[in-house]
Amino acid sequence: MNSLMIEGEGVASQQIKILDLIEKDVLEEIVRDFTKATRVASVLVDLDGQPITREHNFSRVCKEYCRSTPIGRAKCYASDRFGGEESKKIGKPFIYKCLNAGLMDSATPIIVEGYHVATLVMGQVLTKPIAVDKAVDAARRIGIEDVAGYLKALHEVPVMSYERLQSAVNLMCTIAKTISSLAIQKYLSKKAYQKNLHNIINSVSEAIISTDLDGTVTLINKAAIKMFGRESSSIVGQPIFEFFARPEDFREHLTCKKQHAASEMPPVFEVFRPNGQIFYAQASFREIFLSKREAMGYVTVLRDVTQEKKVEKMKEDLIGMLTHDMGNPILSTQRVLELMLDGHLGSLNHRGDEMVALALNSTHKLSGMVSNFLDIFLDECTGLNLCQMPGDMDATLVESIQHVGFSADDKKIRIRFQPGRAGVRMLADWSRLQRTCVNLLENAVRFSPLGGEIVVKAEQLSSDEQGDYILVTIDDQGKGIDKEKQALIFEKFYTTSIRNRDERRGVGLGLTFSKMVVEAHGGRIWVESPYVNDEGEEVTGGRFRFRIPVSTGQQYIVPRGDEHE
């Protein structure tokens, strides 16, 4: 959950702090560059003389002696405060002797809307040497024991003419005006923001609800009143949770106990209206801070997505209908092409055989895409029912490799697979598992370079935790998958960037379907990129692996997930 800073309505201008208007890093950079240009010591202090920025280019006598004792440090802060007060009175830079060691300093006020908010102090130079007896007296007054060291450090203080000091002061005045200008711009912007905040939150179409730390509503906008169908008086002062069908779930999201990743859609909740009607609202949450450390409550932004959910349901119904109705024409086309290829409709020349084989291969791909659509649609609506039959993984992989053979030959890619390690007969939905293997192999072919190699493995393994299971591995030599994308590639309609501009981008359902099928069998699918091959070498390609338990006859059914999660 991100933080949202707000300003109180009654903040007096006298309480303006420079760090509320300009970031410290910016101030630090300005003072540092000024110091480099003038080669004198400089620091930005508050009205009490306390440093706001770091102390830049401070002389050794000030750093190691004058500010090394409590008395000396207090006199330095008092001196900087004095310089700021005097410069504010005269309205311009004030050159003076510091109240501690007697060095020459200059102070220029930072003014915002007539209010003194900080002071830029520079100096720690001499226009003429200080008498030894006066220096010794100054050292003893602040409790310096190493007087000799103090005098040596004082001797290192640069001596410059008054004219040169005045030139540095003139530049300091320009710098101070620049800081003031930046601060004024931010201050006026904040004033305008506070003045228009009420109008802004009432102009947006989303409902905005502010609550305290306990979840009691403290502020709502007009959109929230309209969305909830209630009077403002019946919402403000009430716990926000009581308006939702799942109050505890809403509480966990509001108070940061339940968070969703940045890549996920905001959660959707069922909300009650007074007449008993339920609508759906997508919610975003922000924590409110009165100050940088003091939390004061939460802001919730609600968007009515009831109509969107209805449209989404219509889309799902349409997809289900189309994918189901497209199956018959595709099967008819496949049957005609198979008859042509077998010679039942007359003989074809060699070129004709190649073209018909290519068309038949394309219809198989199209049929697989339609089946993916339909199965994903059924899984989301009712849960995926597996049609389990006896079979083995070795035979399934051999058939899958044959399906992608044409595409692999076209890119001169060699697919290496040695059956015999996963030939155990078991119950599974072999038709869908074959489509899963074809999806993974097609991905490997698509992203492999010309003349590359794909290595396929299947083996039966066993562990105390998982029992007997089949592990399938498909390795390619492509460009690999970025770490941050590996968790996303199994999501619906997600596709990685095109590796070859001549290749067609998929619709992003193959891996979603594969994950659904593997998990329906009680298994798991994942990707490793880069990976280490059998020779111990790191390969930049992608390794897709999935494992499924050796079935004992139990049929797995994946239940439909909660539509609000």
Poorest-pLDDT segment among 177-191, 225-239, 510-524: 177-191
> Out of 101-105, 122-126, 253-257, 370-374, which region has the weakest mean confidence (pLDDT)?
370-374
Global confidence as pTM = 0.41
pLDDT at 563 over 60: no
Give the residue-averaged pLDDT of 537-558. Answer: 76
Three-state DSSP state, 263:
coil
Given a cut of 90, whether residue 42 has pLDDT beyond it is yes
- Residue 5: the pLDDT is 37
Asked if residues 136 and 151 have their Cβ atoms less than 8 Å apart, the reply is: yes
pLDDT surpassing 60 at residue 489: yes
* CB 22 within 8 Å of CB 308: no
Cα separation, 213 vs 210, whole angstroms: 10
Pair of tokens at residue 508:
């992003």
Structure confidence by residue, pLDDT tens digits, 135-181:
999 999 999 999 999 999 999 999 999 899 999 999 999 999 999 88
Q: Are 245 and 278 in contact (CB under 8 A)?
A: yes
Given pLDDT bands bounded at 50, 70 and 90, which one contains residue 338? confident
Question: Which of these, 263, 260, 253, 261, lies nearest to 287 by C-alpha position?
Answer: 253
Q: Is 447 exposed, middle or buried (0-12, 13-18, 19+ CB in 10 A)?
A: buried
**Residue-level pLDDT at 156:** 93
Check residue 89 and give its pLDDT: 93
Q: What's the whole-number mean pLDDT along residues 460-471?
A: 88
Each as own residue / partner, the long-range contacts of residues 248-256 (CB below 8 Å, 24 or more positions apart, any chain) are 250/283, 251/215, 253/283, 253/285, 254/211, 254/215, 254/285, 254/298, 254/300, 255/215, 255/298, 256/1, 256/285, 256/287
Which pLDDT belongs to residue 28? 93
**Averaged pLDDT for residues 18-30:** 89
Q: Across the chain, what does the average pLDDT equal?
A: 82
Identity at 470, one-letter amino acid code: I
Within 8 A by CB and 6+ apart from 534, the residues are none
Segment among 143-152, 204-213, 216-225, 365-374 with least mean pLDDT: 365-374
Those residues whose C-beta lies under 8 Å from the C-beta of residue 249, and which sit 6 or more positions away, are 258, 269
The DSSP code for 239 is: B
Q: Which element (helix H / strand E) includes 545?
A: strand 543-549
State which amino acid sits at residue 493: F
Q: How far apart are CA 481 and CA 485, in angstroms?
A: 7
Q: Select the more confidently predicted residue: 243 or 7.
A: 243
Question: Tell me: the pLDDT tens digits for 411-436?
Answer: 999 999 988 777 788 999 898 899 89
Judged against a pLDDT cut of 80, whether residue 564 lies above it is answered with: no
pLDDT more than 90, % of the chain:
41
Q: Average the pLDDT over 350-366 and give the result.
A: 75
Asked, as a colleague might, if the bond just before 329 is cis with ω within 30 of 0, I would say: no
Core vs surface per residue 293-316: b (16+ CB within 10 A) or e:
eeebbbbbbbbbbeeebeeeeeee
Spatial separation of the C-alpha atoms in residues 176 and 116, rounded to whole Å: 12
Q: Is 3 exposed, middle or buried (0-12, 13-18, 19+ CB in 10 A)?
A: exposed
Separation of alpha carbons 96 and 47, rounded Å: 17
Residue-wise pLDDT tens digits, 256-313: 766 655 556 788 999 988 888 889 999 988 888 766 667 788 899 999 888 888 777 7
Q: What is the mean pLDDT of residues 114-132?
A: 92
Q: Is the pLDDT of residue 556 over 50?
A: no
Percentage of the chain lying above the pLDDT 70 cut: 82
Q: Where are the beta strands (DSSP E) in 290-350?
A: 295-304
Secondary-structure percent of the chain, ordered helix, strand, coil, rounded to 5? 45, 20, 35
In sequence order, what are the residues at sequence separation of 6 or more whose Cβ sits closer than 8 angstroms to the Cβ of residue 42?
A: 31, 34, 35, 56, 57, 120, 121, 122, 123, 172
Contact at 8 Å (CB) between 470 and 480?
Answer: no
Residue 453 banded pLDDT, cuts 50, 70, 90: very high
Beta strand pairing status for 41-45 and 467-475? Answer: unpaired
Asked if residue 90 has pLDDT above 60, the reply is: yes
Among 98-112, 113-127, 358-372, the range scoring the smallest mean pLDDT is 358-372
pLDDT (tens digit, 9 = 90+) per residue, 172-208? 999 999 998 888 888 887 777 767 777 778 888 889 9
**Helices 350-382, 430-447: inter-axial angle, 10-degree rounding:** 120
pLDDT at 95: 94
Given this model, what pLDDT does residue 351 score?
A: 81
Gyration radius from the chain CA atoms: 37
User: CA nearest 492: which of 378, 376, 392?
Assistant: 376
d(CA 284, CA 2): 10
**pLDDT on residue 561:** 38
Q: Provide the pLDDT for residue 504.
A: 35
